[in-house]
Amino acid sequence: MGNAHSHIGLWTKAADEDVCVTIAEDDAIFSRDFHAGARTILEALPSDWDVVLWG
Among candidates 18, 27, 21, 30, which has minimal Cα distance to 55?
30
* Distance between first and last Cα of the chain: 22
Residue 14 lies in a domain: yes
In a domain, 21, yes or no: yes
Report, as an integer, the average pLDDT of 17-45. 93
Q: Judge contact between 20 and 31, C-beta under 8 A.
A: no
pLDDT value of residue 25: 86
The percent of residues above 70 in pLDDT, for the chain, comes to 100
**Residue 36 included in any domain:** yes
How many folded domains does the chain comprise? 1
pLDDT of the residue at 3: 80
pTM to 2 decimals?
0.68
pLDDT reported for residue 53: 93
Instruction: Evaluate whether 51 touches 44 at the Cβ level (below 8 Å).
Output: no
